[in-house]
Protein backbone atom coordinates (compact mmCIF):
# COMPACT_ATOMS: atom_id res chain seq x y z
CA UNK A 1 0.00 0.00 0.00
CA UNK A 2 1.08 3.57 -0.63
CA UNK A 3 1.46 6.08 2.18
CA UNK A 4 -1.40 8.50 2.86
CA UNK A 5 -2.98 10.99 5.23
CA UNK A 6 -6.74 11.33 5.08
CA UNK A 7 -9.57 13.08 6.91
CA UNK A 8 -13.06 11.62 7.23
CA UNK A 9 -15.87 13.60 8.83
CA UNK A 10 -19.04 12.03 10.21
CA UNK A 11 -21.51 13.37 12.77
CA UNK A 12 -19.14 16.05 13.98
CA UNK A 13 -16.21 13.65 14.42
CA UNK A 14 -13.18 14.21 12.19
CA UNK A 15 -10.92 11.16 11.91
CA UNK A 16 -7.38 11.77 10.68
CA UNK A 17 -5.57 8.60 9.64
CA UNK A 18 -1.97 8.35 8.45
CA UNK A 19 -0.13 5.37 7.02
CA UNK A 20 3.30 4.46 5.71
CA UNK A 21 4.29 0.94 4.62
CA UNK A 22 7.47 1.11 6.72
CA UNK A 23 5.79 0.68 10.12
CA UNK A 24 4.02 4.04 9.83
CA UNK A 25 7.32 5.92 9.83
CA UNK A 26 7.18 9.64 9.16
CA UNK A 27 9.02 11.03 6.13
CA UNK A 28 8.83 14.74 5.45
CA UNK A 29 5.87 14.59 3.07
CA UNK A 30 3.71 12.70 5.58
CA UNK A 31 4.65 15.18 8.31
CA UNK A 32 3.57 18.11 6.13
CA UNK A 33 0.33 16.38 5.18
CA UNK A 34 -0.38 15.83 8.87
CA UNK A 35 0.18 19.52 9.58
CA UNK A 36 -2.15 20.51 6.74
CA UNK A 37 -4.82 17.97 7.70
CA UNK A 38 -4.83 18.84 11.40
CA UNK A 39 -5.12 22.52 10.46
CA UNK A 40 -7.92 21.72 8.01
CA UNK A 41 -9.86 19.81 10.67
CA UNK A 42 -9.38 22.66 13.12
CA UNK A 43 -10.84 25.15 10.62
CA UNK A 44 -13.73 22.92 9.53
CA UNK A 45 -16.98 23.97 11.23
CA UNK A 46 -18.38 20.49 10.64
CA UNK A 47 -15.66 18.99 12.85
CA UNK A 48 -16.29 19.26 16.59
CA UNK A 49 -13.73 16.73 17.81
CA UNK A 50 -10.75 15.03 16.12
CA UNK A 51 -9.46 11.46 16.30
CA UNK A 52 -5.81 10.93 15.34
CA UNK A 53 -4.92 7.36 14.34
CA UNK A 54 -2.64 5.36 12.09
CA UNK A 55 -3.43 2.57 9.65
CA UNK A 56 -2.59 -1.07 10.18
CA UNK A 57 -2.89 -3.31 13.19
CA UNK A 58 0.53 -3.66 14.79
CA UNK A 59 2.47 -0.39 14.95
CA UNK A 60 1.19 3.09 15.73
CA UNK A 61 4.27 4.94 14.53
CA UNK A 62 7.94 4.08 14.08
CA UNK A 63 9.02 7.72 14.19
CA UNK A 64 11.48 9.33 11.81
CA UNK A 65 12.15 7.78 8.42
CA UNK A 66 15.62 6.19 8.47
CA UNK A 67 15.93 6.73 4.71
CA UNK A 68 15.45 10.46 5.09
CA UNK A 69 17.72 10.65 8.14
CA UNK A 70 20.50 9.02 6.17
CA UNK A 71 19.97 11.38 3.24
CA UNK A 72 20.55 14.55 5.30
CA UNK A 73 23.73 16.27 4.09
CA UNK A 74 23.92 19.52 6.07
CA UNK A 75 22.53 21.29 9.12
CA UNK A 76 19.94 23.22 7.10
CA UNK A 77 18.48 19.99 5.71
CA UNK A 78 18.58 18.47 9.18
CA UNK A 79 16.70 21.35 10.75
CA UNK A 80 14.14 21.28 7.94
CA UNK A 81 13.46 17.57 8.43
CA UNK A 82 13.09 17.76 12.22
CA UNK A 83 10.99 20.90 11.85
CA UNK A 84 8.36 18.60 10.36
CA UNK A 85 7.85 17.03 13.78
CA UNK A 86 7.84 20.46 15.40
CA UNK A 87 5.15 21.63 12.99
CA UNK A 88 2.92 18.61 13.65
CA UNK A 89 3.15 19.12 17.41
CA UNK A 90 2.41 22.82 17.10
CA UNK A 91 -0.50 22.16 14.72
CA UNK A 92 -2.02 19.78 17.28
CA UNK A 93 -1.41 22.30 20.08
CA UNK A 94 -3.05 25.12 18.16
CA UNK A 95 -5.97 23.09 16.81
CA UNK A 96 -9.08 24.55 18.51
CA UNK A 97 -10.70 21.10 18.73
CA UNK A 98 -9.86 18.36 21.19
CA UNK A 99 -7.65 15.71 19.57
CA UNK A 100 -8.26 12.15 20.76
CA UNK A 101 -5.34 9.78 20.18
CA UNK A 102 -5.74 6.14 19.14
CA UNK A 103 -2.56 4.11 19.67
CA UNK A 104 -3.07 0.49 18.62
CA UNK A 105 0.54 -0.66 18.83
CA UNK A 106 4.14 0.29 19.46
CA UNK A 107 5.24 3.92 19.31
CA UNK A 108 8.85 5.03 18.87
CA UNK A 109 10.43 8.48 19.02
CA UNK A 110 8.29 10.84 17.00
CA UNK A 111 5.37 8.46 17.44
CA UNK A 112 5.55 8.98 21.21
CA UNK A 113 5.70 12.70 20.51
CA UNK A 114 2.55 12.56 18.41
CA UNK A 115 0.70 10.62 21.11
CA UNK A 116 1.76 13.19 23.70
CA UNK A 117 0.51 16.05 21.52
CA UNK A 118 -3.06 14.73 21.64
CA UNK A 119 -5.43 15.94 24.34
CA UNK A 120 -6.70 12.52 25.47
CA UNK A 121 -5.04 9.32 24.35
CA UNK A 122 -6.41 5.78 24.18
CA UNK A 123 -4.17 2.73 23.70
CA UNK A 124 -4.15 -1.04 23.66
CA UNK A 125 -1.96 -3.21 25.86
CA UNK A 126 0.27 -3.70 22.82
CA UNK A 127 1.21 0.00 22.74
CA UNK A 128 4.69 -0.11 24.23
CA UNK A 129 6.71 3.10 23.94
CA UNK A 130 10.40 3.86 23.41
CA UNK A 131 12.49 6.97 22.83
CA UNK A 132 15.37 5.54 20.81
CA UNK A 133 16.95 8.81 19.68
CA UNK A 134 19.96 8.72 22.00
CA UNK A 135 20.75 5.18 20.84
CA UNK A 136 21.34 6.49 17.32
CA UNK A 137 23.28 9.51 18.53
CA UNK A 138 20.65 12.26 18.50
CA UNK A 139 18.19 12.85 21.33
CA UNK A 140 14.44 13.47 21.63
CA UNK A 141 14.92 17.22 21.48
CA UNK A 142 11.85 18.17 19.42
CA UNK A 143 9.37 15.74 20.99
CA UNK A 144 10.69 16.39 24.49
CA UNK A 145 8.42 19.31 25.47
CA UNK A 146 5.05 17.61 24.78
CA UNK A 147 6.21 14.32 26.30
CA UNK A 148 7.58 15.99 29.43
CA UNK A 149 4.38 18.03 29.69
CA UNK A 150 2.39 14.79 29.81
CA UNK A 151 4.53 12.48 31.95
CA UNK A 152 6.84 14.79 33.92
CA UNK A 153 10.59 15.23 33.89
CA UNK A 154 11.43 12.08 35.85
CA UNK A 155 9.58 9.68 33.55
CA UNK A 156 10.81 11.58 30.50
CA UNK A 157 14.38 11.15 31.73
CA UNK A 158 13.81 7.42 32.14
CA UNK A 159 12.60 7.12 28.56
CA UNK A 160 15.38 9.31 27.22
CA UNK A 161 18.34 7.75 29.03
CA UNK A 162 17.33 4.09 28.69
CA UNK A 163 16.91 4.54 24.96
CA UNK A 164 16.76 0.87 23.97
CA UNK A 165 14.15 -0.21 26.52
CA UNK A 166 10.49 -0.67 25.71
CA UNK A 167 8.13 0.65 28.37
CA UNK A 168 4.73 -1.01 28.59
CA UNK A 169 1.41 0.60 27.78
CA UNK A 170 0.48 0.26 31.44
CA UNK A 171 3.64 2.17 32.41
CA UNK A 172 2.65 4.89 29.95
CA UNK A 173 -0.85 4.99 31.45
CA UNK A 174 0.50 5.28 34.99
CA UNK A 175 2.72 8.19 33.93
CA UNK A 176 -0.11 10.01 32.14
CA UNK A 177 0.74 9.53 28.46
CA UNK A 178 -2.24 7.24 27.93
CA UNK A 179 -5.57 7.95 29.59
CA UNK A 180 -7.03 4.48 29.05
CA UNK A 181 -5.57 1.12 27.98
CA UNK A 182 -7.61 -1.77 26.55
CA UNK A 183 -7.00 -5.44 25.84
CA UNK A 184 -8.01 -5.18 22.18
CA UNK A 185 -8.43 -2.58 19.41
CA UNK A 186 -12.15 -3.38 19.31
CA UNK A 187 -12.64 -2.48 22.97
CA UNK A 188 -10.56 0.65 22.50
CA UNK A 189 -12.58 1.76 19.47
CA UNK A 190 -15.84 1.30 21.36
CA UNK A 191 -14.55 3.55 24.14
CA UNK A 192 -13.27 6.14 21.64
CA UNK A 193 -16.63 6.21 19.89
CA UNK A 194 -18.45 6.70 23.18
CA UNK A 195 -16.25 9.63 24.22
CA UNK A 196 -16.14 11.36 20.84
CA UNK A 197 -19.93 11.12 20.44
CA UNK A 198 -20.31 12.82 23.83
CA UNK A 199 -17.82 15.52 22.88
CA UNK A 200 -19.57 16.09 19.54
CA UNK A 201 -22.65 17.16 21.51
CA UNK A 202 -20.74 19.37 23.95
CA UNK A 203 -20.41 23.15 23.77
CA UNK A 204 -17.79 23.91 21.08
CA UNK A 205 -16.90 27.27 22.63
CA UNK A 206 -16.32 25.71 26.04
CA UNK A 207 -14.16 22.95 24.57
CA UNK A 208 -12.12 25.54 22.67
CA UNK A 209 -11.60 27.59 25.84
CA UNK A 210 -10.69 24.49 27.84
CA UNK A 211 -8.08 23.49 25.30
CA UNK A 212 -6.50 26.92 25.52
CA UNK A 213 -6.37 26.62 29.30
CA UNK A 214 -4.88 23.12 29.14
CA UNK A 215 -2.08 24.27 26.85
CA UNK A 216 -1.22 27.44 28.78
CA UNK A 217 2.51 28.02 29.00
CA UNK A 218 3.28 26.51 25.58
CA UNK A 219 2.93 29.65 23.46
CA UNK A 220 6.71 29.84 23.00
CA UNK A 221 6.83 26.41 21.37
CA UNK A 222 6.74 27.93 17.86
CA UNK A 223 10.30 29.08 18.41
CA UNK A 224 11.39 26.49 21.00
CA UNK A 225 10.65 23.46 18.84
CA UNK A 226 12.44 24.98 15.85
CA UNK A 227 15.48 25.55 18.07
CA UNK A 228 15.24 21.91 19.12
CA UNK A 229 14.95 20.88 15.46
CA UNK A 230 18.27 22.62 14.81
CA UNK A 231 19.82 20.66 17.70
CA UNK A 232 18.71 17.37 16.15
CA UNK A 233 19.64 18.52 12.66
CA UNK A 234 23.21 19.17 13.75
CA UNK A 235 23.68 15.86 15.56
CA UNK A 236 22.24 13.70 12.82
CA UNK A 237 25.33 14.65 10.80
CA UNK A 238 27.75 13.20 13.36
CA UNK A 239 29.95 10.24 12.44
CA UNK A 240 28.39 8.31 15.33
CA UNK A 241 24.86 8.76 14.01
CA UNK A 242 25.75 8.10 10.37
CA UNK A 243 27.55 4.89 11.31
CA UNK A 244 24.70 3.76 13.58
CA UNK A 245 22.05 4.42 10.94
CA UNK A 246 24.01 2.45 8.35
CA UNK A 247 24.31 -0.45 10.77
CA UNK A 248 20.59 -0.40 11.55
CA UNK A 249 19.70 -0.13 7.87
CA UNK A 250 21.70 -3.27 7.13
CA UNK A 251 19.93 -5.07 9.97
Strand partners, 53: 17
pLDDT, one tens digit per residue, over 161-170 is 999 999 999 9
Label residue 251 by pLDDT band (50, 70, 90): low
Distance (Å, whole) CA 64 – CA 85: 9
Interatomic CA distance for residues 189 and 186, integer angstroms: 5
Three-state DSSP at 218 gives coil
Instruction: Please list, in sequence order, all residues whose beta carbon lies within 8 angstroms of the beta carbon of residue 138, skipping any fewer than 6 positions away.
Output: 232, 235, 236, 241
Residue 177 in this model has a pLDDT that exceeds 80: yes
What percentage of residues in the chain have a pLDDT greater than 70?
Answer: 100
pTM: 0.96
Percentage above 90 pLDDT, the chain = 95
How far is residue 20's CA from residue 212's CA, in Å, rounded to a whole number?
Answer: 32
Q: Is the pLDDT of residue 66 over 90?
A: no
Query: Within 10 A of 139 (CB to CB), how many other CB atoms are there?
Result: 17
DSSP 7: E
Secondary structure (H, E, C), 55-77: CCCCEEECEECHHHHHHCCCHHH
Determine the Cα–Cα distance for residues 114 and 56; give it in Å rounded to an integer. Answer: 17
Whether the predicted pLDDT of 250 surpasses 80: no
| CATH tag for 4-186 (out of 3.30.2130.30, 3.30.420.40, 3.90.226.10, 3.40.50.150) | 3.90.226.10
Per-residue pLDDT band at 247 (split at 50, 70, 90): confident
Phi/psi-derived region of residue 125, left when phi > 0, alpha when psi is between -120 and 50, beta in every other case? alpha
Tens digits of residue pLDDT in 73-113: 999 999 999 999 999 999 999 999 999 999 999 999 999 99
Q: What is the mean pLDDT of the chain?
A: 96
pLDDT for the residue numbered 248: 81
Amino acid sequence: MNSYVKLDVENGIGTIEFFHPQSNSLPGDILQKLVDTITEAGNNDDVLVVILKSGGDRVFCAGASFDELMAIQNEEQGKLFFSGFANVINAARKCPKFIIGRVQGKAVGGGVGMASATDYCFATKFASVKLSELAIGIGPFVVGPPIERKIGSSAFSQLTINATKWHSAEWAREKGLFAEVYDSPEEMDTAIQTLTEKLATSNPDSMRALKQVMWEGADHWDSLLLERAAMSGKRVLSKFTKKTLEKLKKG
